[in-house]
Amino acid sequence: MNQRARIDSTPIPFIDVGAQRRRLGSLIDDAIARVTTHCLFLGGPEVAAFEADLAAFCGAKYAVGCASGTDALMLVLMAQGIGPGDAVLCPAFTFCATAEVVVLLGATPVFADVNPATFNIDPSSLVRAIATAKRHGLKPKAIIPVDLFGLPADHDAIAAIAKAEGLFVLDDAAQGFGASYKGRKLGTIAPATATSFFPAKPLGCYGDGGAVITDDPALVDKLKSLRVHGQGADKYDNVRIGMTSRLDTIQAAVLIEKLKIFPYEIAARNLVAVRYAEGLRDVAIVPGVPDGYTSIWAQYTLRLRPGLRDGLAATLKAQGIPTAVYYPKPLHRLEAYRQFPVADNGIPVTDQLAEEVISLPMHGYLDPPTQDRVIEAVRAALMP
């Protein structure tokens, strides 16, 4: 396989937003031009139109746009009245925003361990993290499961625990939006789902953006107030403390076009994942998808035997193939988060994964010859 006379080392992008831009062509320019013509840069008609499209896409009743995925999480916790003395349970193997919003509201994140096969919160550790929170004198209020790397969390088990303990569930689908769980799309699984339109996410816009998806009309009313300074009947009648967190009209216009091709991209991403699994399953632990789940493959993440990762990354880099490590330090190891409680005083799977994982280029426009270059390079580097 690696008998080429000369190794092609043309740089491969990790995520090719340019390829998608070329496919969309003038649709995006036209959409943006409509906004720069009507000049309703905030609250233009594209915002409500996109919110309706997004809700319809996943089969939910409502979607509320906001300025980022982080704000989407924050706004829901604000609507739930989360604050000092409250504990919010979440995994430590995630992007910091999952726990950051909890801390910003004066509440305490309590970290649970993850399942080594799915990278997602482990229900049995979650139960122990709830006990840990109580031992710390905190009142457990909510769980934020994360659909890490695009794979849905174990939502039925989480919902059962939430019900038994009286906790709210806010699904962090910043990476998972577009995936499905037991025949239903994320957005319809938890009472509230937050997603991000950061450009590198599976459904990204051309800047920052986010949304909350829910079936609860009372939550929608609160979110719509909170995203504009807690407005009441009108703009200068403020009934609660809120923030500035609107989805820009231009971003909504871009997202309307991007959502139209999202089903095609979901299928394409899955084909890429299947090809990676076929090409690599004998040299590394490739990510699996439990029965009844689909992944959106926000990342394609391998697990390697300890000690192999840095060498593989360097070898690939020399051949123009980028890799990334999500996440080299889990949250409980970060300066900003290390004072917060962890279940069982230690979450070993999370620590182990942080040493083993490496993510490969992944997007819906990764053509087979380019992907073969990645597969062959990984194989050559890992074969004894």
Ligand X SMILES: *Cc1c(COP(=O)(O)O)cnc(C)c1O
Nearer to ligand X, 98 or 249 (CB): 98
Q: How far is the CB of 224 from ligand X (least distance, A)?
A: 19
Q: Taking CB under 6 A as the rule, does residue 299 contact ligand X?
A: no
Q: How far is the CB of 341 from ligand X (least distance, A)?
A: 20
Return the sign of the alpha-carbon dihedral for residues 276, 367, 291, 201: positive
Q: How far is the CB of 296 from ligand X (least distance, A)?
A: 12
Q: What is the dihedral of CA 40, 43, 45, 50, to 10 degrees?
A: 130
The binder of ligand X chosen from 113, 122, 172, 356 (CB under 6 A):
172
Q: Taking CB under 6 A as the rule, does residue 210 contact ligand X?
A: yes
Chain positions 88 to 117 lying near ligand X, rule: CB under 6 A, are 94-95, 97-98
Nearer to ligand X, 133 or 144 (CB): 144
Which region among 169-177, 282-290, 327-335, 350-358 touches ligand X (by CB under 6 A)? 169-177
Q: How far is the CB of 172 from ligand X (least distance, A)?
A: 5
Cα–Cα distance, 321 to 145 (Å, whole number): 32
At 212 the three-state DSSP class reads: strand
Nearer to ligand X, 46 or 172 (CB): 172
Nearer to ligand X, 140 or 176 (CB): 176
Q: How far is the CB of 212 from ligand X (least distance, A)?
A: 12
Cα–Cα distance, 71 to 168 (Å, whole number): 18
- Taking phi over 0 as left and psi of -120 to 50 as alpha, with beta for the rest, 306 belongs to beta
The binder of ligand X chosen from 115, 118, 132, 175 (CB under 6 A):
175
Nearer to ligand X, 205 or 374 (CB): 205
Q: Taking CB under 6 A as the rule, does residue 145 contact ligand X?
A: no
Cα–Cα distance, 317 to 332 (Å, whole number): 29
Chain positions 312 to 351 lying near ligand X, rule: CB under 6 A, are none
Q: How many residues bind ligand X (CB under 6 A)?
A: 15
What DSSP string describes 256-294?
A: HHHHHHHHHHHHHHHHHHHHHHHHHTTTSBPPP--TTEE
Nearer to ligand X, 175 or 359 (CB): 175
Q: How far is the CB of 95 from ligand X (least distance, A)?
A: 4
Alpha helices in the chain (DSSP H): 17-24, 26-38, 45-58, 69-79, 97-104, 123-135, 155-165, 217-226, 249-280, 309-318, 348-356, 368-382
Cα–Cα distance, 2 to 291 (Å, whole number): 35
Chain positions 36 to 95 lying near ligand X, rule: CB under 6 A, are 68-70, 94-95
Q: Which of 305, 287, 284 is nearest to 120 (CA)?
A: 287
Cα–Cα distance, 352 to 330 (Å, whole number): 10
Contact 339, 276 (CB under 8 A): no
Nearer to ligand X, 108 or 299 (CB): 299
Cα–Cα distance, 35 to 282 (Å, whole number): 51
Residue number of the CB closest to ligand X reads: 69
Chain positions 181 to 200 lying near ligand X, rule: CB under 6 A, are 196, 198
Q: How far is the CB of 1 from ligand X (least distance, A)?
A: 34
Q: Taking CB under 6 A as the rule, does residue 152 contact ligand X?
A: no
CA 362 → CA 228, 238, 247, 322, distances in Å?
36, 45, 27, 10
192 phi/psi in degrees, rounded to 5 = -145, 140
Give ∠ CA 6-379-298 in degrees, rounded to 5. 110
Q: How far is the CB of 311 from ligand X (least distance, A)?
A: 27
Q: How far is the CB of 195 from ligand X (least distance, A)?
A: 8
Nearer to ligand X, 201 or 373 (CB): 201
Give the residues lining the site for ligand X (CB under 6 A): 68-70, 94-95, 97-98, 146, 172, 174-175, 196, 198, 208, 210
